[in-house]
Amino acid sequence: MKIPFLSFDAMNRELRADALSQFEKFFDSHWYVLGKDVRSFEQNYAQATQVNYVVGVANGLDALHISLRVLDIGEGDEVIVPSNTYIASVLAVSYAGATPVFVEPRWETYNLNPDLIESAITPKTKAIMPVHLYGQACEMTAVQEIAQKYDLKIVEDNAQAHFAQYDGQLTGSFGDVNGTSFYPGKNFGAYGDAGAITTNDENLALKAKTYRNYGSQAKYYNEVQGINSRLDELQAGLLNLKLSFIEKWTAERQQIAKYYDNYLKNIGDLVLPITAEKATHSYHLYVIRTRFRDKLQAFLHEKGIGTLIHYPVPTHLQEAYQSSNFEEGDFPIAEEMAKTVLSLPMYPGLTENQVKIVAKVITQFYERF
C-alpha cells in the first residue's frame, strides 16, 4: 500500500460540492480580486483567530514582508529570526531591506530558544520574528517579555501553525502585526497561493491594506510605493468554506500525532516531537529525528511511503545568503537538525492503520540496519 506524504483526498471529498458551487458563483460574479468574499473572509478569519483586523494578501511571504514594512522596519535595522525555519521568514526581512539575525532553536521543540535572544540584540534590533514551526506555538510569554524589555516589535510567522495556542491564546494574535500563509499544503490551505496579515492595530491594518494594493486607498492615488499583493475572490470564497472544517481537521491531525507517538515509541534512536508546556501543536508536520535519516528516508520510499525534509539546508548556508558570509558551524543546532529531521505523512484522512504501517516499516528498518 502506497502512503503519500500529503493527500488532499479526504479534505476535498468533504468540500467538493460546496467548492464547485462556490466556483460557479465566483465565475458568474464578474468581480475577481479584492471584493465581497475577500471582505467577508477577512472578517471571518479575524473572528476565528481572535484579532481585530485581517488583511488578505497574495501569499505568506508578502504577508511577512508587508508586516515589517508597515512597522517601518527597513535598511539599517536588524530582525531576530530563528536559524531553523523555512527561508521565507528570512527573505521577508531581506525584502524589507533589514538584516536577519539568526538565533538557534531549542532541541526539544525546534522553535526559537528565548534564552538565546537577548545576546543577539544590538542597538539596531527592531523586531523579533518567532516562527511557530511545524505547527507548534513558540514560547510567546518569554518572547513578549524580551520585546517589552528592549522595546522591540513582534512579527509572528504563523504560516505553519493555524489555530495552535500558547497559554490559551491563538498564534497569530500575539505580535504587533503577523503574517500567515494559505499555501495549499498548509493546515488551512487555499487552492492556489494566498496569505493574510493579522493585527489588533487599526492603523497598521490600514497601512497594510494600502501597501498590498500599490500603496493606494483611492484608485489611482498612491500614498506610498506599495506592491501588488491582492487576494483573489476565488481563494477567499474557498477559504471561507474551509474555515468551518478547520477545527475538526486540526483535531484529526492531533489524533494522528498521538497514533504516531504510540506506535513509534522506543524504536532505535528515533526522537519524537515534544509539545512544550503551555503550548499546543497543530501538527502541520510530524517531524522525527534520527542519525540514519537519509537511509531511513530511502527505505520508506522503497516501501511506498512518502516523506520530506523540512529543511535540508538551513537558511544561513543557502547559496542565496552566500553574500552574508556565514560558515558551516555558525548555527550548529540548526545544521544538525537539517541533517537529521524527517517529516512523516500527516494530513486529515490518514488512518490509524496507515500510521501503523509507517511504524511497522520503520521498525523493519531498524531491525535490518
Residues between 261 and 290 that touch ligand PLP (CB under 6 A):
none
Count of residues of this chain found to bind ligand PLP when the rule CB under 6 A is applied: 15
- CB of 270 vs ligand PLP, minimal distance in Å: 24
Residue 239: CB minimum distance to ligand PLP, A? 13
Instruction: List the interface residues with ligand PLP, window 184-243 (CB under 6 A).
Output: 193, 195
* Residue nearer to ligand PLP on the CB measure, 49 or 354: 49
- Reading the block at residue 350, the C-alpha cell is 490518514
Q: Which stretch binds ligand PLP (CB under 6 A): 83-91, 197-205, 311-319, 338-346?
A: 83-91
Site string (94-133) toward ligand PLP, x via CB under 6 A: -------------------------------------x--
* Dihedrals phi, psi of 219, to nearest 5 degrees: -50, 130
Of the two residues 162 and 207, which places its CB atom closer to ligand PLP in the complex?
A: 162
3 state SS of 141: helix
Question: Per the structure block, which three cell numbers stand in for 4?
Answer: 503519500
For ligand PLP, the closer of residues 183 and 331 by Cβ is 183
C-beta separation of 160 from 135 below 8 A? yes
In this chain, which stretch among 140-148, 156-164, 234-242, 336-344 interacts with ligand PLP, using CB under 6 A?
Answer: 156-164
Q: Judged by CB under 6 A, does residue 88 bind ligand PLP?
A: yes
157 binds ligand PLP (CB under 6 A): yes
| By the rule CB under 6 A, 59 interacts with ligand PLP | yes
Cβ–Cβ < 8 Å for 31, 233: yes
Query: Which of 85, 171, 187, 198 forms a contact with ligand PLP (CB under 6 A)?
Result: 85
Residue closer to ligand PLP (CB basis): 177 or 355: 177
Residue number with the smallest Cβ distance to ligand PLP: 60
What is the rounded distance in angstroms from the CA atom of residue 98 to the CA atom of residue 72? Answer: 10
Beta strand segments in the chain, E: 53-57, 78-82, 99-103, 125-128, 153-154, 165-166, 169-170, 177-181, 195-199, 216-218, 221-222, 286-289, 341-344
Which strands, in side-by-side order, build the sheet including 99-103? 99-103, 78-82, 125-128, 153-154
Query: Which range touches ligand PLP (CB under 6 A), out of 86-94, 256-264, 336-344, 345-353?
Result: 86-94
Q: Choose, by CB under 6 A, the member of 160, 187, 235, 343 that binds ligand PLP.
A: 160
- From CA 126, how far away is CA 221, in angstroms rounded? 30
SS3 143: helix
Restricting to residues 166-195, which ones interact with ligand PLP according to CB under 6 A?
Answer: 181, 183, 193, 195
- Closest to ligand PLP by CB, 193 vs 270, is 193
Closer CB to ligand PLP, residue 60 or residue 114? 60
Say how far apart CA 34 and CA 100 lie, in whole Å. 32
Stretch near ligand PLP under the rule CB under 6 A, chosen from 9-17, 80-88, 243-251, 337-345: 80-88
CA distance 293 to 301: 12
Find out whether 183 and 48 touch, Cβ atoms under 8 Å.
no
C-alpha cell at 30: 464578474
314 lies in the binding site for ligand PLP (CB under 6 A): no
Among 22, 89, 144, 210, binds ligand PLP (CB under 6 A): 89
Q: What residues are paired with 197 via a beta bridge?
A: 55, 179
Q: How far is the CB of 122 from ligand PLP (least distance, A)?
A: 24
3-state secondary structure string, 204-255? HHHHHHHHHECCEEECCEECCCCCECCCEHHHHHHHHHHHCCHHHHHHHHHH
Among 60, 1, 56, which Cα is nearest to 235's?
56
In the complex, the smallest distance separating the C-beta of residue 41 from ligand PLP, rounded to whole angstroms, is 16
* Contacts to ligand PLP by CB under 6 A: 59-61, 85-86, 88-89, 131, 157, 159-160, 181, 183, 193, 195
